[in-house]
Amino acid sequence: MKDNEDDNRLQANKKKDDDCWNKKGKDCGPQRNDNPFSFFKGGKFKFSAWYFFIALLILMFLNTFLAQQRMASTVSFSEFKQLVRDGQITQVQLSPDFYYGRGTSADGESGGITYRTVPVEDPGFIPLLDEEGISYSAVSQRGTNMLSTLISWILPLVLLIFVWRLMFKRMGNMGSDVMTFGKNRSQIVAEGQTGVTFADVAGADEAKEELEEVVDFLKNPRKYTVIGGKVPKGVLLVGSPGTGKTLLARAVAGNAGVPFFRMSGADFVEMFVGVGAARVRDLFKQAREKAPCIVFIDELDAIGKSRLQVAAGNDEREQTLNQLLVEMDGFDATTGVIILAATNRPEVLDPALLRPGRFDRQIVVDKPDLEGREAILKIHSKDVKLAKTVNLREIAKATPGFVGADLANVINEAALLAVRSGRTEVLQEDLQEAIEKAVAGLKKKNRLINPKEREIVAYHETGHALTAAFTEGADPVQKITIVPRGIGALGYTMQTPVEDRYLMTEEELLGKIDVLLGGRAAEKVKYGSISTGAANDLSRATDIARKMVTDYGMSDKFHNVALTKQANPFLGDTGQAMMSREYSEDTQTYVDQEIARIVAQRYDRVVKLLESKQDTLEAVAQRLLEKETLEAAEFASMTGLKEKQAL
Ligand code: ADP
Ligand code: MG
Ligand code: ZN
């Protein structure tokens, strides 16, 4: 029985051990590392002293119990007395519970207690013993009870400890998490060399260019520190989901050949207050040891939400955020740790995060345009067998508004479709079908604009661009795009000023209004009707017109008269709100009329201009629909104007 039990224990032990190894050695309950009783640490055969101890106790208990069972064949008191008289019992022990009679056994061997009986109140018993000449003694109650008391105290205690340890093991991951806080987590996400480089990212050329500097710094930190230059510690990648922010961060680490620590904002926010902060501390401690390296915090908004906006404060997140701020201030860029973070909602971030010395540099990761999409498709179809007839350019054309992740998905889906129909190559139809599937999904999420709207946007933006091109003194057009970005903006025309301007002439202000009205005017010229797409343009145009009348004294009636009084700009930053109106209702009416007159007059002018350039409008808009983005040079050549040079 004893052997059996030990065997079972051993087997149970071994099994637990195997389970542990299956988990690749992590989190195998606390006893793996820190139990001083382990006989063989981490080895295959592990025999916890605890089990040994328990087994010993049980055996001890059984031993006493069995010994008593064995020795005692219980007889009646009268029989016992008879045995005494017969001389079969040679020694008697008197205890309160039993009388034990030791005597010769049947085969004549002496020794060993053989009989016991429950005592009966019998005053003649002791004289009988004296008569027979049998030695007798009494046993104190305490002797036996000491043992049982001991057992009754120790056994539950041991059992308790046993159950407690068992529970720890059952809880496994959770138990160790609670006890060691964030230690394990941050170790898990240290990705070492990422193996991803800029070559794996396409269509985000501007972001890549800006990140080159970070790579260069990580590679040659001395080049910067010798001069005493400061490299940004924190770079925030901003862009819609799936545009490749995480991928870019990995690529930076890969290109620089440095370790990459990744953590998602959500990882920091835990049930227990203080755990997130401990994780942040841990993460930065490790990063400092491994410098130069990159710490990447994905989904920064999960911890970095503005503390002002949240009505009911979340202690845990706040503590985590504070710890992050402290850590970011705690080292200077010369340590070689660069923090990248990604978010698709920069507007909710706490302003403290965006201050100089923290995430002061922001890089926008745009949705890819036609060229970009084609390049991304190429990257993701590298390992996929495409039929020779597949035309990725066509696929790129058919997927406006798709981001990198969507495109990767399209390729994958097409490959699955090909397999399902038993082919070994992906055909154009597979890709087309995959797009349709994806479009259905994206439409639900409101992430696609329909072709008609896209066309309107193209004409609208072309209107802005053409007006700018043909307006004297307007900032030159640098880029026109109809790739939607962010919320609301369906496209934009980018103008870069040739130089910093502090003064503006009346003509230039009017020119600005013209350009702003150009979008709506183009819609009018092309379709004869107008859309809501110009709301923002109009409010800006109106603003300029109003300022011309009220602030700059550029109206006929109030020539050279400022109608508003400018507050001291240094007395707080309330700015606009501090402007006080210093004129009558009549004047207000005049101001309103004058604004309306200016805007109407400019609008007529722009419509006439665009009507006279209708061919160009058509050509540029169509080209834009095709290419989605037009650069300055191509636009200039289409308008027949030279690219505007700095004056
Ligand atoms: P984000 O972090 O911006 O939400 P990810 O970096 O996680 O997006 O992108 C998800 C996946 O989509 C990437 O792993 C990659 O396969 C693909 N992807 C996204 N953008 C690009 C890109 N510009 N070039 C190549 N692949 C991309
Ligand atoms: Mg991501
Ligand atoms: Zn516009």
Two tokens, residue 631: 């650069």
Residue to substitute in 247, 345, 413 for testing ligand 1 pocket (most ligand atoms within 8 angstroms of CB): 247
Distance 47 CA to ligand 3 centre (A): 76
Q: Which atom of ligand 1 is nearest to the CA of 379?
A: 25
Q: Indicate if ligand 1 lies below 6 Å from the C-beta of 245.
A: yes
Q: Which atom of ligand 1 is nearest to the CA of 245?
A: 3
For every residue of 432-484, DSSP letters joined together read HHHHHHHHHHHHHTT----HHHHHHHHHHHHHHHHHHHTSTTPPPEEEEE---
Q: Indicate if ligand 1 lies below 6 Å from the C-beta of 302.
A: no
User: CA 24 to CA 165: how far, in whole Å?
Assistant: 21
What per-residue confidence (pLDDT) applies to 117?
Answer: 85
Q: State mean pLDDT over 104-111.
A: 55
Give 190's DSSP letter.
B
User: CA 304 to CA 188: how far, in whole Å?
Assistant: 23
Q: How many CB atoms lie within 10 A of CB 18?
A: 10
What per-residue confidence (pLDDT) applies to 522?
Answer: 95
The residues with which 138 forms a beta bridge, in sequence order, are 94
Q: Annotate 58-119 with three-state secondary structure.
A: HHHHHHHHHHHHHHCEECCHHHHHHHHHHCCEEEEEECCCCEEEEECCCCCCCCCEEEEECC
Tens-digit pLDDT profile for residues 472-524: 888 888 889 888 765 456 777 877 777 767 788 899 999 999 999 999 999 99
Q: Which atom of ligand 1 is nearest to the CA of 250?
A: 6
Ligand number, closest to the Cα atom of 205: 1
| CA distance readout (Å), 569 to 4, 90, 272, 572, 617 | 91, 118, 46, 7, 43
Q: Which residues are within 8 A (CB) of 268 and not within 5 positions of it... i.e. 6 or more apart?
A: 276, 279, 280, 302, 303, 317, 320
Two tokens, residue 343: 């978010």
Helix axes 451-469, 632-639, angle to 10 degrees: 70
Ligand number, closest to the Cα atom of 383: 1
| pLDDT > 90? residue 33 | no
Burial letters for 458-487: b for 16+ Cβ neighbours within 10 Å, e otherwise?
Answer: bbbbbbbbbbbbbbeebbbbeebbbbbbee
User: CA 297 to CA 323: how far, in whole Å?
Assistant: 14
Q: Annotate 121-169 with three-state secondary structure.
A: CCCCHHHHHHHHCCEEEECCHHHHHHHHHHHHHHHHHHHHHHHHHHHHH
| pLDDT > 80? residue 527 | yes
For every residue of 335-379, DSSP letters joined together read G-EEEEEEES-GGGB-GGGGSTTSS-EEEE-PPP-HHHHHHHHHH
Q: Which atom of ligand 1 is nearest to the CA of 405?
A: 12
Q: Indicate if ligand 1 lies below 6 Å from the C-beta of 238.
A: no
Cis peptide before 292 (omega within 30 of 0): yes
Distance 463 CA to ligand 3 centre (A): 8
Tens-digit pLDDT profile for residues 380-405: 999 899 999 999 998 998 888 889 99
Query: Can you say whether residue 128 is alpha, beta or left, with left for phi > 0 and alpha for psi between -120 and 50 degrees?
Result: alpha
What per-residue confidence (pLDDT) applies to 267?
Answer: 74
| pLDDT > 50? residue 25 | no
| pLDDT > 90? residue 329 | no
Higher pLDDT, 639 or 520: 520
Q: State mean pLDDT over 453-461.
A: 92
Nearest-CA neighbor of 587 among 621, 618, 622, 562? Answer: 562
Least confident among 51-60, 137-146, 197-206, 402-411 = 137-146
| pLDDT > 50? residue 623 | yes
Give catalytic residue positions: 461
What per-residue confidence (pLDDT) applies to 503?
Answer: 84
| pLDDT > 60? residue 174 | no
Distance 346 CA to ligand 2 centre (A): 14
| pLDDT > 50? residue 626 | yes
What per-residue confidence (pLDDT) applies to 118?
Answer: 85
| pLDDT > 80? residue 203 | yes
Residue 367 in contact with residue 403, Cβ under 8 Å? yes
Q: Indicate if ligand 1 lies below 6 Å from the C-beta of 341.
A: no
Distance 563 CA to ligand 3 centre (A): 30
Q: How confident is the model at residue 544 (pLDDT cuts 50, 70, 90)?
A: very high
Q: How confident is the model at residue 271 (pLDDT cuts 50, 70, 90)?
A: low
Counting every residue written for the chain, the total comes to: 647
Q: Indicate if ligand 1 lies below 6 Å from the C-beta of 342.
A: yes
Residue 21 in contact with residue 27, Cβ under 8 Å? no
Domains by residue range for the chain, with CATH: 44-71+153-179 (no CATH), 74-139 (3.30.720.210), 187-365 (3.40.50.300), 370-440 (1.10.8.60), 451-639 (1.20.58.760)
Backbone angles phi, psi at 551, to 5 degrees: -100, -40
| pLDDT > 50? residue 202 | yes
Distance 419 CA to ligand 1 centre (A): 24
What per-residue confidence (pLDDT) applies to 510?
Answer: 93
Q: Indicate if ligand 1 lies below 6 Å from the C-beta of 243.
A: yes
Q: Indicate if ligand 1 lies below 6 Å from the C-beta of 363.
A: no
Residue of the CA atom closest to atom 12 of ligand 1: 405
Q: Which atom of ligand 1 is nearest to the CA of 201?
A: 24
Burial letters for 133-167: b for 16+ Cβ neighbours within 10 Å, e otherwise?
Answer: ebebeeeeeeeeeeeeeebeeeeeebeeeeeebee
| pLDDT > 80? residue 540 | yes
Average pLDDT, the chain: 78
Q: State mean pLDDT over 413-437.
A: 90
Distance 438 CA to ligand 2 centre (A): 19
